[in-house]
A and B are shown apart, each in its own frame.
Chain A
Amino acid sequence: MAKIITVTSGKGGVGKTTSAAAIGTGLAQAGKRTVVIDFDVGLRNLDLVMGCERRVVFDFVNVIHDDIRVQQALIKDKRLDNLFILPASQTRDKDALDQEGVGRVLDELAKEFDFIVCDSPAGIERGALLALYFADEAVVVANPEVSSVRDSDRIIGILNSRSKRAESGDEQVKLHLLLTRYDAERVEQGEMLKTDDVLEILAIPLLGVIPHDKTVLAASNVGTPIVLEAGSIAGQAYQDSVKRLLGDDVPMRFVEPRRAGWFTRFLRRSA
């Protein structure tokens, strides 16, 4: 039976899609049959970030409404043959999704895959609620700043009260915190919240801390999930996070400010 993991945040622009693409790709690298679904109907981005936007024929909404089989809409990743993407529709809006239809598609996918990663839209409206409704686990993406943490708190409340698991009285959705865009130097200067401060407020287990890294944007622009960039520290941090998601105990990296080497210090002094 497939495990459904929803990547969500409440706030927009914190790195949900980047994280969903990285986690999906990481799970596939670990040998798991994985599909990543874009729930952001009307503002689809996942196919861009994963580099398959030129091969989209059918989408999630077609599968729900237009008698298209889910296998026809799935796009196979070019790099990993156990990774698939179900893109969102760009021409419809989020009301095109309904609970019964989403449930049917997820049931169908659950037969074939080990992991279903749902990339949630921002907000707490229909699209976001449907993306989290069927979740077994949720990766709550937050940046180390107050408004993002507040919105994450709100979405955790919704996960705990309005998911299928909450409604049916099953075991609660398993929650993970993924702290992204973490700039250790700015944290040290007090411009950003410390990991401990965020954990204190959100009170859910930490899956990983993704350091702020310029390679993320560059990789996203060319459609390469960041875990496939060998030199990227963000990519390595995502890979660690995926290992933790699969139950491995991996130490946290990249959470301390990088100490300047003697050469850089020399340059700064003479500048």
Chain B
Amino acid sequence: MIETERPYQIRGTTQTLLALRVDTPDDPTFFDLLKTDVLKSPAFYKNAPVVIDVQPILDQPTTEFRKFVARVRASGMQPIGVINGDETWNKAAAAVGLSVLAAGAPAKLDAAPSNAEPPRAAPSVAERGAAEAAPTPPAARPAPAAMVVEETVRGGQQVYARDGDAICLASISNGADVVATGNVHVYAALRGRAFAGFDGDQRAMIFCDRLEAELVSIAGFHLVSEELPAVARGKRVRVRCADGGLVVDVVS
């Protein structure tokens, strides 16, 4: 089929978004806390598109919403829409230039299903167009672009898998970084730093044959060497997100 020439192309795309659930917007510490979170993990939160979950405040008036959105923006995040709104709230959202999105499935902290589904395929928080919520057949999904690193990553070097997993066949030296938006696999000693789920995917995990890491981080949560459990040191492990922190499992 010959494509007609157009100055643009419109395509469907699936993005993982952060959702900011607003429980008590009038809490005086609300924005201080938010700012602190952004400052703590700027790579993760700064200018990150975020949808505002208004479910807990549906019964409250929408009069302050414009000011609220401006303050969220001032904290460093980029509000792009609301989810779980009713008619009044959706109107208020449109009035301040935000989109109305269908609610997505919240990100699972439990990592169990990750064997069954590819790490980056499922939208975790919100997705445009509720009608498309049915699972995409495997053939239609873009293949996750894993980056395979065959050589030792030396001190001062960094590998960055922008669109998926980083798979390292040799060790990661002290002072080296492995960064991936998906999972990090190291089939040797991990002595440097590993960052999985770099753009915020809490389902991402870190696997290594020998844990001697300076730091492990998933979706902004991290553990430094000192904080790693002693029983896991030097062992083959999996690191995952759970209960608002990181858990290190020794796997035999």
Which A residues form the contact surface with B (CB < 8 A)? 150, 153-154, 156-158, 160-161, 200-201, 203
Known contacts A150-B175, A153-B175; A158 and B156 CB within 8 A of each other: yes
List 4 tightest A-B contacts by C-beta distance, closest first. A157-B154, A154-B155, A153-B155, A153-B173
Residues of B within 8 A of A201 (CB): 171, 173, 191
B157 interfacial by beta-carbon distance below 8 Å: yes
CB contacts (< 8 Å) of A154 on chain B: these are 154-156, 175
Question: Which residues of B come within 8 Å of A, CB atoms?
Answer: 151-157, 170-171, 173-176, 189, 191
B117 to chain A, nearest CB (A): 35
Interface centre among B156, B171, B174, B189, by most chain A C-beta atoms within 10 angstroms, is B156
Whether the pair A157, B157 counts as a contact (CB closer than 8 A) is: yes
Residues on B with C-beta less than 8 A from A203 are 152, 170-171
A156 to B151, CA, bound (A): 12
Residue numbers in A under 8 Å from B156 (CB-CB): 154, 157-158
Q: What is the minimal beta-carbon distance from B133 to any residue of chain A, in angstroms?
A: 45
Contacts of A158 in B (CB 8 A): 156
CA A24 to CA B189, docked complex, whole Å = 36
A161 to B152, CA, bound (A): 12
In the bound complex, CA of A5 to CA of B153 (Å): 23
Chain B residues near A160 (CB, 8 Å)? 151, 154
A160 to B149, CA, bound (A): 14
Q: How far is the CA of A200 from the CA of B156 in the complex (A)?
A: 18
28 CB < 8 A contacts A-B: A150-B155, A150-B173, A150-B174, A150-B175, A153-B154, A153-B155, A153-B173, A153-B174, A154-B154, A154-B156, A154-B175, A156-B152, A157-B153, A157-B154, A157-B155, A157-B156, A157-B157, A157-B173, A157-B176, A158-B156, A160-B151, A160-B154, A161-B157, A200-B189, A201-B173, A203-B152, A203-B170, A203-B171
Closest residue to A157 on the B side, CB-wise?
A: B154
Please indicate the chain A residues that have their CB under 8 angstroms from the CB of B155 in the complex.
150, 153-154, 157
| Residues on the B chain within 8 Å of A150, using CB | 155, 173-175
Q: How long is the Cα–Cα vector from A203 to B170 in the complex, in angstroms?
A: 9
Chain A residues near B176 (CB-CB < 8 A): 157
The smallest C-beta distance from A266 to any residue of chain B, in angstroms, reads: 43
Which residue of the partner chain B has the closest CB to A146? B174
A153 to B171, CA, bound (A): 12
Closest chain A residue, CB of each to CB of B154:
A157
- The distance in angstroms between the C-alpha atoms of A203 and B189, with both chains bound, is 12
Docked Cα-Cα span, A157 to B191, in Å, equals 15
Name the CB-closest residue of B to A159: B154
Closest residue of chain B to A161 (Cβ to Cβ) is B157
Chain B residues with Cβ below 8 Å from A161 are 157
Complex CA gap A153/B156 in Å reads: 9
A200–B209 CA distance with the chains assembled, in angstroms = 14
CA distance A150 to B170 in the complex (A): 17
Nearest CB on A from B38, distance (A): 33
Q: How far is the CB of B209 from chain A (nearest CB, A)?
A: 13
Q: Given A153-B155, A157-B156, list of 16 further CB < 8 A pairs?
A: A150-B173, A150-B174, A153-B173, A153-B175, A154-B155, A154-B156, A156-B154, A157-B153, A157-B155, A157-B176, A160-B151, A160-B154, A161-B157, A201-B173, A203-B152, A203-B171
Contacts of B152 in A (CB 8 A): 156, 203
Chain A: CB-nearest residue to B157: A157
Q: Determine the distance from Cα of A200 to Cα of B189 in the docked complex, in whole angstroms.
A: 10
Nearest-Cβ distance from residue A177 to partner chain B, whole angstroms: 13
Give chain A residues whose Cβ lies under 8 Å from the Cβ of B154.
Answer: 153-154, 156-157, 160
Chain A residues with CB below 8 A from B173, complex form? 150, 153, 157, 201
